[in-house]
């Protein structure tokens, strides 16, 4: 019998690996076709994804039913979801909007974008100009003037919301400690968005405010009677969409760790697809 090299064995092992990235894209195609057909009045993928996340539809309702249920399919779905949460947190895939994981994927826009307040003999004016998506800031402007004669104390403009940039700005560092503190406090009030984690840390048993998904306890919003799992819907659909984007944009490094993420994502999406038949 001929001797088989270890290199040859390794190559055959590699051939046995399933390309879950490719499988995920194949699963995305019918999902993409479904939402294009369902939301024909909307123009862009982003608008359609937001519609799935925020309003009643087949996919949103299916995820809510799976999370609320205790059938074998529900348990399978929750287990794959837990795997997706674990592997995205472990790998830290960088998307265009930041790290793709369940800790920071839900972003709630701060609707307050301006402060114009008198405080201790000075007038403080701060304005944030937002871009096309949540978290994108195209300009941040600060002006501090004396109330007595309207003379300028501090002027600052930057093309982003960046606390570190502000704190290192020479003119800011030359301000009195009191003015620095007030500028910083107003600046923090104009944070572009807040993040909501899908992980529930303050669990309540009655009524139950969490879903047990393997080792994770995920938020169940008992106040939202139309969709208790709306936080999970929002985070999961956004994660699936961003995982699609990093592949299509060529930003993903297709290594073994990435395959673990896309394996979980594929199985989650495949269960959702079965609800669209």
**Sequence ranges of the domains in the chain:** 18-105+198-274, 109-194
Q: Which residues 6+ apart lie within 8 Å of 270 measured at CB?
A: 27
pLDDT of residue 2: 67
User: What confidence score (pLDDT) does residue 132 get?
Assistant: 81
Return the SS3 of 190: coil
End-to-end CA distance of the chain, in Å? 52
The conformational region for residue 60 under phi > 0 = left, psi -120 to 50 = alpha, else beta, is: alpha
- Give the burial class of 38: count Cβ atoms within 10 A of its Cβ; 0-12 exposed, 13-18 middle, 19 or more buried: middle
Burial of 56 (0-12, 13-18, 19+ CB in 10 A): exposed
The pLDDT score that the predictor gives to residue 189 is: 96
**pTM for the complete prediction?**
0.80
Task: Please give the C-alpha separations between residue 64 and each of 48, 168, 199, 241, in angstroms, as whole numbers.
Answer: 18, 47, 16, 18
Tracing tokens 């009524």 back to the chain, one arrives at 207
**pLDDT confidence of residue 5:** 78
Q: State how far the Cα of 91 lies from the Cα of 244, in Å rounded to an integer.
A: 16
Q: Can you give the pLDDT at residue 85?
A: 97
For residue 274, the model assigns a pLDDT of 95
What pLDDT, on the 0 to 100 scale, is given for residue 78? 98
Instruction: State the pLDDT at residue 8.
Output: 72
pLDDT along the chain (277 residues), means of 10: 74 77 96 97 95 96 97 98 97 85 86 96 97 88 97 97 96 96 97 91 96 97 96 96 95 93 98 95
């Amino acid at each position: 019998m001929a001797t088989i090299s270890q290199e040859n064995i390794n190559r055959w092992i590699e051939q046995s690996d399933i390309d879950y990235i490719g499988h995920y894209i194949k699963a995305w195609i019918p999902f993409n076709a479904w939402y294009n057909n369902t939301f024909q009045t909307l123009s862009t993928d982003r608008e359609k994804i937001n519609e799935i996340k925020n309003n009643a539809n087949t996919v949103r309702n299916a995820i809510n039913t799976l999370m609320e249920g205790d059938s074998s399919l529900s348990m399978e779905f929750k287990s794959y979801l837990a795997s997706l949460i674990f592997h995205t947190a472990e790998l830290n895939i960088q998307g265009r909007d930041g790290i793709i994981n369940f800790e920071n994927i839900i972003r709630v826009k701060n609707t307050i974008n301006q402060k114009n307040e008198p405080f201790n003999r000075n007038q403080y004016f701060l304005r944030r100009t937002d871009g096309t998506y949540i978290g994108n800031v195209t300009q941040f402007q600060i002006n501090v003037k004396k109330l007595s004669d309207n003379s300028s104390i501090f002027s600052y403009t930057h093309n982003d919301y960046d606390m570190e940039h502000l704190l290192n700005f020479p003119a800011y560092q030359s301000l009195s400690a009191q003015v620095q503190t007030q500028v910083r406090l107003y600046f923090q009030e104009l944070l572009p968005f807040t993040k909501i984690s899908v992980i529930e840390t303050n669990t309540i048993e009655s009524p139950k405010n969490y879903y047990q998904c393997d080792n994770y306890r995920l938020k169940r919003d008992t106040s939202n009677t139309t969709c208790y799992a709306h936080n999970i819907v929002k985070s999961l659909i956004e994660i699936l969409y961003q995982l699609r984007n990093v592949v299509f944009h060529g930003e993903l490094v297709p290594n073994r760790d990435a395959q673990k993420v896309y394996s979980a994502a594929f199985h989650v999406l495949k269960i959702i697809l079965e609800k669209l038949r």
